[in-house]
Structure 1
Amino acid sequence: MLGKPVIGTKTMVVSPHYLASAAGARILEQGGNAYDAAVAVSACLAVVYPHMTGLGGDAFWLTYCTDEGQVRAYNGSGRSAYGVSRDSYEGESSIPKRGIRSAITVPGMVDSWDAILQQYGRLTLSEVLVPALEYALEGFPLSPDQWSNCHQAEASLIAEPLASAIYIPGGRIPHAGERFVQLQLATTLRKIREGGRDAFYKGEIAATISDYMFKSGGFLTREDFADHKGNWVEPISTDYQGYTVYQVPPNSQGFTALMSLNILENFNFKGIEHGSYEYFHLLVEALKLSFRDRDQVLTDPAFSHIPLGILLNKSYSAKLASTISFQEASKMTSEPVGRDTAYAAVVDEEGNAVSFIQSLYFEFGSGVVAGDTGILLQNRGSFFSLDPLAINTLEPHKRTFHTLMPAMACKNGKPAILYGTQGGEGQPQTQTMLLTRMLHYGMNPQQAVEEPRFVWGRTWGEPTNELKLESRVPEFIRRELAAAGHIVRTVGAYDGIVGHAHMIGIDANGFRQGGSDPRCDGAAIGW
């Protein structure tokens, strides 16, 4: 798109897959509102982007209702099984990253669909699931991203016969563009259309999943599913450049991005050129400081107090900012915290807005398909620690540290920017880049998304905390960053490792500007 956003006078839908965006637009055209369209997009992503998200995963939501005039948040993450504990992994140093024993948290996404529609929807769950059901039943062109991720996760998928039969049928990964049909998933979606959320958590679907878990050595039971309920929570926020920026509270890592903004507020961006050494270095260092605090406190707030009052205090952020050197990179480390996610957003004609994100944690989650449901189970719970002294230690019926974090920035009390991205550790990093590009450098959403990005931290299987920079960042700037002590690694020009970001901006005229990431298969659709 070369920096040109899609502009709508009334509506806008953005997502990482064009068919999901089209499904949201279809629901809006049929008289649905932003909430109806968002659930339709979410369900379609579970079908057409199965490596990134699915019915076996979680979702987090930020909503704005024009009638209420406020931003609300829904935590659609699941808790660990009642019957799982650190003793369940006696003799092991960590929870397995794949397989049946990594699937220890109840999927929360289907519940979140019901909650959003019950509170704000105009249509029924049965109605908004129609596009997803059609794509599962009739098939769709397999995306290049799914093809690539199938190759990356091939060993994990082959290890699970039910998953292999779906994603590597006949022992061959389908090519991009081939028709990909998911008949078992279509049957599951039909059951949800007929029986609602209870069909998933209290009916035949829950029974099939839990029975399969029992036979296969897993931990989730019918009781775990029946007791699941997500919850509406008060969003957290900070003020930045005349905007109020909202995030979902813990167990989401969203406060990390707010901390970073509070730190950056202490620097004069008028003297910092966009894309310069100073720009990249400053953002990385601010984010490192927020990660350091995050890793010490983030877990389920029902199990441990998280001092947000201190962490989001402007004076505290000023003290952190004073420790940043423009000449030298700080010596901090990180642990890998997931990678594959799907972010989307919708704004309707009335001004209702939904910013949401969903995930299986790793690509294809645990790799386990539960019985004949066609549902891949997430491996989100594998991030729990087996160290009893760790803040995120595994305990029964507990939510884990969660990377998912949709964002919304409001101006004069109304949504102005909806934004988010795929990627675990990369989510607060990319969000910070997107917002600073719009608020400090006057970029539109498409420009902000397309500009070269970085991601700092250690990804799975890599020994060092690298600063990965897209090759479009000039070589001399990469050299300057390396000279300052950053472990610089150059990646592709538009590399998926830096995430799949999407944005909706609402300008002073009320027009909706959509930005869709060229690093994925997404689309912005508005009119």
Structure 2
Amino acid sequence: MFRDFHAPGRSAVYAPHVMAATSHPLATNAALEILREGGTAVDAAVAAMAVHSVVEPHMTGIGGDCFALVAQPDGTLAGMNSSGRAAKNVSADKLIADGLLDITPDSIHAVTVPGALRGWEKLLKDHGRFSFDKVLKRAIGYARDGYAVLPRVAFDWKHAVDHLKRDEAASEMFLKEGRAPVDGEVMRNPQLARTLEAVANGGADAFYLGAVAEEIAAVVQSKGGYLTVEDLAAHEAVDVTPVTTDYRGITVAELPPNGQGIIALVMLELMKRFDWADLDPTGPERFHLEMEIAKLAYAGRDRFLADPEMMEFDPKDFLSSSYIDRLAKLINTDAVLPRQPEEVLSPKSDTVYLTVVDKDGLAVSLINSLYHGFGSGIATPKSGILLQNRGACFTLEEGHPNQIAGGKRPMHTIIPAMALKDGLPYMSFGVMGGGYQPCGHAHVLSNHLDYGMNVQEAIDCPRMFINEKSLSLQAETGVPFETVEALKALGHEVSIVPTPIGGGQAIMFDRINNGLIGGSDPRKDGCALGY
């Protein structure tokens, strides 16, 4: 299949030995440098993510969390969860007594312990050859000496000006005389450069113990939050066992809760109950079915997913045949599904994603996020760290498994993915976009496996998503007008979104030609490259 070379677009990237796919060219280049110097895919991925933390500060940073899936050449999978917890001293009762009805993204109580650096350190220890002093070099240089802001980054940045102005330190670091930088303009963060240098010399302890941790705790407490130095010192990145399901001959692996990866698998299981091959990939029938499936899967997420220590059900309960069959029977191909009650949903009755593959065939799927654009919008003036607002995913609802509590991890939206075929790595991939990510995983996989698209085409294909509160549909401008009108005629409320839905990267193993095929989302500034 040939793409239309008259139309704007990009080809899939082919390389015989190694490949990196990221949403920023400087990050892709940093990964390739590490690979050329003999580093593993994990060394390269951490180097790339560190660069992202500098050059895409609205999307990710060391003040956020990370998750990873690593596939050995023989198909052995390892999962890692380095999401931070709520402050030990916080409780729903305290926040309700203070007059809170929920935890909004701009609340100081949305700030949870940053987990990223402990996660990076664990990845390097378990799967790398290099240490922080080598893999942080490029990121330190860009933070200290400056980097040019790319077009998509500038586009996003301008929408966060008021958010950043709420905090003096964030405003000074990330605005120029009160405005967002324009594309091509050079930005620096010397405070962050010094913090990264301290980590390069002293490991993650330089962040979680001592002056940096003390400043983070002091900044949060000064604004009424509960985070302490003890909360930061207690953080650990942990090993987790991936959860899998099969789709069209491919085994798809996701991480278990507190992430939402299981919802991608629920969607795939539901999709197996329908015939997709004869449906137009951008037609109303395809999008209707996909969105109806998403409604059911996401409603279950919102009611039941949480810190696994607090969940009522085992994640595998959501993949049981009886549960999936029951949900599938609710879907009508020519009618819109209403919101479902809890007893039906019970299984018992903004982010940076990148992927790297090295010359030995080790593949890493890594995702790192501050949650909303620029996270909480709160920065530490001396150490240059933007703090995440992941705690906004908690609820104050009494009895809910995701109710905020001291030392608890919130339900998380960021999810890496890995696919195997015949027991060997087949594709390392991920889709950015907050809550969209499970739907994005299912959409991209279906584009490839049901419609024969290559990895770049599968990422490029127009997207739709549900409004997670109203259940109306949101369509990208690339969705055909006729499709939108047909969905409206079916009973859907459909609107065109002002910005593209998420992003994505993928690297596929070409076993026939003994090489790699990469794709990178044109919705971002990045690229896939290899050699």
**TM-score calculated relative to the size of structure 1:** 0.94
Shift of residue 284 of structure 1?
1.0
Shift of residue 333 of structure 1?
8.6
Aligned to 1:499: 502
Give, as a single letter, the amino acid of the residue that structure 2 aligns with 1:175.
V
For residues 317-356 of structure 1, the aligned pairs below 5 Å read: 317-332=324-339, 340-356=350-366
Q: Does 1:221 align with 2:228?
A: yes
Distance in 1 (CA, whole Å) between partners of 2:188 and 2:10 is 35
Aligned to 2:24: 17
Q: Does 1:200 align with 2:199?
A: no
**SS at 1:92 equivalent:** coil
Shift of residue 142 of structure 1?
1.1
Aligned to 2:521: 517
Q: For the Cα contact (< 8 Å) 2:431–2:437, is it kept in 1? A: yes
Q: Does 1:438 align with 2:448?
A: yes
Question: Which residue of the other structure, out of 274, 280, 304, is the alignment partner of 1:297?
Answer: 304
For residues 435-514 of structure 1, the aligned pairs below 5 Å read: 435-458=445-468, 464-491=470-497, 495-496=499-500, 498-508=501-511, 509-514=513-518
Shift of residue 491 of structure 1?
3.6
Per-residue Cα deviation, 1:167-199 (whole angstroms, up to 9, x for no partner): 113223221111111100000000100110111
For residues 129-208 of structure 1, the aligned pairs below 5 Å read: 129-208=136-215
Distance in 2 (CA, whole Å) between partners of 1:200 and 1:218 is 19
Per-residue Cα deviation, 1:470-514 (whole angstroms, up to 9, x for no partner): 22222221111111121111246xx42x11111111123232111
Q: Does 1:78 align with 2:84?
A: yes
For residues 43-54 of structure 1, the aligned pairs below 5 Å read: 43-54=50-61
Q: For the Cα contact (< 8 Å) 2:161–2:179, is it kept in 1? A: no
Shift of residue 99 of structure 1?
4.7
Per-residue Cα deviation, 1:36-69 (whole angstroms, up to 9, x for no partner): 0011111111111100001100011000123x64
Q: For the Cα contact (< 8 Å) 1:100–1:218, is it kept in 2? A: yes
Distance in 1 (CA, whole Å) between partners of 2:109 and 2:260 is 24
Q: For the Cα contact (< 8 Å) 1:341–1:357, is it kept in 2? A: yes
Per-residue Cα deviation, 1:83-107 (whole angstroms, up to 9, x for no partner): 111133222111232153331x100
Give, as a single letter, the amino acid of the residue that structure 2 aligns with 1:83.
N
For residues 50-129 of structure 1, the aligned pairs below 5 Å read: 50-66=57-73, 69-89=75-95, 90=97, 91-103=99-111, 105-129=112-136
Shift of residue 449 of structure 1?
0.9
The alignment of Structure 1 onto Structure 2 pairs a total of residues equal to 513
Q: For the Cα contact (< 8 Å) 2:66–2:368, is it kept in 1? A: yes
Distance in 2 (CA, whole Å) between partners of 1:413 and 1:48 is 37
Give, as a single letter, the amino acid of the residue that structure 1 aligns with 2:331.
I
Per-residue Cα deviation, 1:154-175 (whole angstroms, up to 9, x for no partner): 1121110100001113223221
Larger deviation, residues 86-95 vs 256-265: 86-95
For residues 357-368 of structure 1, the aligned pairs below 5 Å read: 357-368=367-378
For residues 252-331 of structure 1, the aligned pairs below 5 Å read: 252-331=259-338
Distance in 2 (CA, whole Å) between partners of 1:57 and 1:518 is 25
For residues 376-455 of structure 1, the aligned pairs below 5 Å read: 376-455=386-465
Distance in 2 (CA, whole Å) between partners of 1:217 and 1:319 is 46
Distance in 2 (CA, whole Å) between partners of 1:145 and 1:353 is 27
**SS at 1:118 equivalent:** helix
Shift of residue 332 of structure 1?
3.0
CA 1:503/1:299 → structure 2, altered by over 3 Å: closer, same or farther?
A: same
Distance in 1 (CA, whole Å) between partners of 2:33 and 2:424 is 25
Per-residue Cα deviation, 1:108-129 (whole angstroms, up to 9, x for no partner): 0000011001101011121111
Shift of residue 144 of structure 1?
2.3
Give, as a single letter, the amino acid of the residue that structure 2 aligns with 1:94.
D
**SS at 2:57 equivalent:** coil
**SS at 1:271 equivalent:** coil
Q: For the Cα contact (< 8 Å) 1:79–1:398, is it kept in 2? A: yes
Q: For the Cα contact (< 8 Å) 1:444–1:505, is it kept in 2? A: no
Distance in 2 (CA, whole Å) between partners of 1:304 and 1:186 is 40
Q: For the Cα contact (< 8 Å) 1:53–1:342, is it kept in 2? A: yes
Q: For the Cα contact (< 8 Å) 1:2–1:447, is it kept in 2? A: no
Distance in 1 (CA, whole Å) between partners of 2:11 and 2:234 is 47
Give, as a single letter, the amino acid of the residue that structure 2 aligns with 1:360.
L
**SS at 1:174 equivalent:** coil
Aligned to 1:337: none
Shift >3 Å, 4+ stretches = none
Larger deviation, residues 283-292 vs 210-219: 210-219
Give, as a single letter, the amino acid of the residue that structure 2 aligns with 1:178.
E
Distance in 2 (CA, whole Å) between partners of 1:333 and 1:325 is 14
Shift of residue 148 of structure 1?
2.4
Give, as a single letter, the amino acid of the residue that structure 1 aligns with 2:510.
D
Larger deviation, residues 42-51 vs 86-95: 86-95
Per-residue Cα deviation, 1:230-265 (whole angstroms, up to 9, x for no partner): 200000010111111000100000000001111111
**SS at 1:170 equivalent:** coil
**SS at 1:472 equivalent:** coil
**TM-score calculated relative to the size of structure 2:** 0.94
Shift of residue 517 of structure 1?
0.9
Shift of residue 3 of structure 1?
5.0
Return 5+ residue gaps in structure 2 as ranges.
Answer: 1-7, 342-349
**SS at 1:55 equivalent:** coil
Q: For the Cα contact (< 8 Å) 1:425–1:457, is it kept in 2? A: no
Q: For the Cα contact (< 8 Å) 2:243–2:316, is it kept in 1? A: no
Q: For the Cα contact (< 8 Å) 2:170–2:379, is it kept in 1? A: yes
